[in-house]
Structure 1
Amino acid sequence: MVLILPDGEPKSERRGSVLTSGRSFAGVLPVGRALARAGREDGLLVHSVHYRVRGWNGEDAHLAADATWAVEEVVRRYGDVPVCLAGHGMGGRAALHAAGHPAVSSVLALAPWLPEDHTAATLEPVRQLAGRQVLMVHGTSDTRTDPELSYRLAARAKKSNRDTCRFEVHTDGHALRQYQDEVLALATDFVLGSLFTRSYARPVADALAAPPPLGLRMPLAAGFGRSMRH
């Protein structure tokens, strides 16, 4: 099971139903569609999460709470199935926060939004990632959320969870559109590998095995996915 978590806003009480269209879903819809196609023969189900409100809203962490609720709903409906949380932007942060739920086996965080305040950034939790497969992907030219922040978070997570890696998409922005085919191939390889215990493509396996900083600044090569071997 994959739960798709769209982007949001730092502060907003506007109803989350607005997210059903527009740019907030634009960053994750292609991922959801690619995963649904690639995992069809394996019976992979992909669901999108619709937040109650659009904002993270400080300590309330509404988007993370909604992600946790969605995982619990999966367990209620489908029973004991492994769940991958796949989020973009603020949804990436929600995925990382909600990873502590026992049903979550892996996390895909695309251009995760993180607080720019240094103190707040160092307080971002990482212990909940232990025992999960974690992949972060960030464009080096992202102007909405600093890619260096996701690197620092990945470095902290790697200390307690060796199954953490991070790829950098050279010159790409927040939406990761410039190399979308490569990003989708990377996401698909990681998610199917983590949920169905398949062998990862060599670059993913190398990134997971490499010590910091190598496995956390892995460049996403142009053409990734065109000739992957498992």
Structure 2
Amino acid sequence: MDRQAAVPRAGDHQALAWRVRPTSPSAAVLVLHGGQVAGLRAPGPVNLPGLRMRGFTCAVERATAGADVAVGTVRYRCRGWNGDRADAARDTLAALSDLAEELGPVPTVLIGHSMGGRAALRAAGHPCVTGVVALAPWCPEDEPCEHLSDRRLLMLHGDRDRVTAPADTLVFAGRARAAGAQVAGYRVEGSGHTLLRRAGDWHRAAARLTAGLLGLAELPAEVAAALALRSPLEGGLQLPLAAAGHR
């Protein structure tokens, strides 16, 4: 596989950066880091939200090795979501457009944390997207979900998160299921918003779920069962995430 960085376009923002780029990819994964509610400055060279996602990216690369899966990241123009501008979602859609132009309509999974989770969910109506792995996503009560019909959403949230509310994720998951999405959710006990507590469990779960969404491995039985449910009241949205060694 050929590893390469994105080549900036003159006078234009390059939203898509590849980490793994096979010659003829059969699928793709894009990783989206978190950000801020508001902020028009560009992320700096030392970008802690971006660094936080490196463990996830590496785990996904291991889980998809040898399967001709392209793995990339979304580069934001701004640190913030910025209200109706929804800058992170716009950048994600731009990255998906570039991906489709370069690779064709390959099935694509988005993995996003916090603001990146919101951007992934907002952009999941793109024709290439087959599934989203949302990590402690930012899910305001008015976040749209009608475009998520037939998408598979796997949502993970720590029960000690004090930045984005696990209850908001649960409500959004129920709304998305009611709108026709296939949804399963994990509760990560003892972990907060930074994903540092139980980091290994977060990484392994995200990689395994991504491989499952791409058909490279079987999804956990409890996830497959939850995805088959249609009513928000039927459960499967707060599954306990088992710790390593207790599976």
Task: Answer yes or no: same fold by TM over 0.5.
Answer: yes
Work out which of the two has the higher radius of gyration on C-alpha atoms and give 1 or 2.
2
Q: Using the alignment, how far apart are the partners of 2:234 and 2:157 within structure 1? A: 15
Q: How does 1:169-184 map to 2 (within 5 A)?
A: 169-184=188-203
Secondary structure of the corresponding residue to residue 106 of structure 1: strand
1:196 positional shift? 2.5
| Structure 1 residue ranges without an equivalent (≥5) | 116-120
The answer as to 2:168 corresponding to 1:141 is no
What is aligned with 1:85?
Answer: 110
Cα 1:175–1:135 shift into 2, 3 Å: same
| Aligned residue-pair number | 218
Matched, 1:203 2:222: yes
More helix by proportion, 1 or 2? 1
Letter in 1 for 2:134: A
Q: Could you tell me the percent identity over the aligned residues?
A: 36
Out of 72, 89, 97, which is 2:122 matched to?
97
CA distance in 2, matches of 1:126, 1:167: 19
Letter in 2 for 1:134: L
Structure 2 contact 64–216 (Cα < 8 Å) conserved: no
- Determine if contact 1:105/1:133 at 8 Å carries over to the other structure: yes
CA distance in 1: counterparts of 2:191 and 2:145, whole angstroms: 26
Aligned to 2:134: 109
SS in 2 for 1:153: helix
Aligned to 2:53: 28
For the structure 1 residues 223 and 214, does the alpha-carbon distance in structure 2 shift closer, same or farther, using more than 3 Å as the test? farther
Does the aligned pair in 2 maintain the 1:207–1:218 contact within 8 Å? no
Paired residue for 1:44, among 39, 57, 69?
Answer: 69
Distance (Å, rounded) in 2 between the aligned partners of 1:218 and 1:184? 17
The one-letter code of the counterpart of 1:11 is A
State the Cα distance separating 1:183 from its structure 2 match: 1.8
The 2-side partners of 1:53 and 1:22 are apart by: 12
Aligned counterparts of 1:5 and 1:69: Cα–Cα separation in 2 = 13
1:3 to 30, 51, 55: 30
Match of 2:237 among 194, 198, 216: 216
Rounded to whole Å, the distance in 2 between the matches of 1:161 and 1:197 is 24
CA separation in 1, counterparts of 2:34 and 2:113? 5
Distance 1:144 1:66, change over 3 A: same
Q: 2:40 aligns with which of 1, 13, 19?
A: 13
CA positional deviation for 1:185: 2.0
Cα RMSD, aligned residues only: 1.7
Distance, in Å, in 2 between the alignment partners of 1:39 and 1:167 is: 22
- Partner of residue 19, structure 2: none
Q: CA deviation at 1:197?
A: 5.9
Query: Equivalents in 2 of 1:3, 1:14: separation in Å?
Result: 23
Conserved in 2, the CA contact under 8 Å of 1:165 and 1:216?
Answer: yes
- Kept in 2, the 8 Å contact 1:27–1:88? The answer is no
The TM-score with structure 1 as length reference comes to 0.89
Q: Which amino acid aligns with 1:76?
A: E
Whole-Å separation in 2 of the counterparts to 1:51 and 1:197? 29
Opposite residue 77 of structure 2, the aligned amino acid is R
1:83–1:105: 8 Å Cα contact kept in structure 2?
Answer: yes
Question: Which residue of the partner structure matches residue 69 of structure 1?
Answer: 94
How many angstroms does 1:213 deviate by? 5.5
Cα deviation, 1:179-219, whole Å, max 9, x if unaligned, reads 22222222122111111264212232233235535211111
- Paired with 1:174 and 1:129, the residues of 2 have a C-alpha distance of 24
Partner of residue 118, structure 1: none
Q: Distance in 1 between matches of 2:151 and 2:205?
A: 17
